[in-house]
Each structure stands twice: as C-alpha cells, then as structure tokens.
Structure 1
C-alpha cells in the first residue's frame, strides 16, 4: 500500500486530556504531526454524536501546555486518530518546533508548512 501521509509524524508520548462538552478522558498522545494526532483510546471512551473534541497536554519537563480543537477521523479499540481543526498561535508555534526538532530536515518541514497553508486557503 502506498503511503498517503503528507505530514511527517513524530513519536511523542505524553499524558493528555481530551474533552467533549461535559465529558473528559485521560489519555496518552502517541504521535503528532502539523495536521493531526494519534491518541490511545482511553478507558471508558464513548464517542459522542459530534466529532469535535478539545485536546490539551504539556510538553515534557515544561509548563508549556498545547491546546487544540480536533475532529475525530477514525477510532478503534486501541487508537483514536484526529485531525487538527483549530490551534491557537502559541500552541501552533510549539507544535511546529516539536516537529522541527524531531524531523531534522528543514526543507521537509518548510514544505509541510507550505502544504498546510495551501490546505487552509482551499477551505
């Protein structure tokens, strides 16, 4: 099967909280990209009628918290795949830096940022 992913994923394991309306679950981020996140399916997980969720997590050994609005793309017993729907500028800057440090290829990172910008222009 050909790889369809346009954005590099970086393995980043950290505790996180996912929320939808008045529900909240403790989970773990498994990996991240500039466009999405893969989370462990938390205990007691119940997907709601809507596919909109809020995710927050802290960077390791830091007080920096990233917050983002997500859309649920796919779920299984083990994993939840999300697309980033909205992210504030501070969280986006930290996410970009996190990906940049882990990808290790400036040209690839700039190409992905350009693709992300192109996607926003078409929406």
Structure 2
C-alpha cells in the first residue's frame, strides 16, 4: 500500500523509491553509447535536467507516464549498447587514448585507414 498525503497523492518518498533506481540505471547506460566525451556529458545533463524538472510532479498518472518514458529510454540505451558492441571501432583521434598518440608521441592506431 502506497503512503498517501492528505491531498490523495502519493508521498514524495514513495515516488522517490520508484524513480531513483531508474535514474541510477540511466546514467551509466549513457556512457557506452556515446563515443565522444562531450556527447556523454550532454546526454547525462539532459537526463539530470529531466529528473530535476519533474521532481515536483504529484499526479500519479503523470508520474507513471514519466517512469514509463524513462524505462523506454533505458531499454533503448541498452539496445544501442548491445548493437554498438558488434561494431567496435578505433577511438577517434580527437579522443586521444589508444587510437591517437600517447604522451610519448608514438602512434598507437591498430588499423591502417584508407586504400593500399
């Protein structure tokens, strides 16, 4: 039985128990999908902003719609992650790391690009 406030809407704690686990699942799901760090930051900020905008929603029906929307987004991110694992690519040069140059100046790209 959900706790109800005097106005008939669920207590904020009850909503938090339903929404917080979704929030905690969405943020890590973003990381493998978006390759560039900037895209990851934008997507994570968008997720945080959506949760902040809707934190005071009290209508049970609207809360259910928002939770369902979040679950759909999580499902989509997990699916994109699974698909992207089939097509592993070298990291972009602008990302640095193992596909660009390391700090010693050595080229670490594993595959040659272009035609022979």
Greater percentage in strand: 1
Query: Shorter-chain-normalised TM-score: which range?
Result: under 0.3
User: Greater Rg, structure 1 or structure 2?
Assistant: 2
TM-score (norm 2): 0.26
Greater percentage in helix: 2
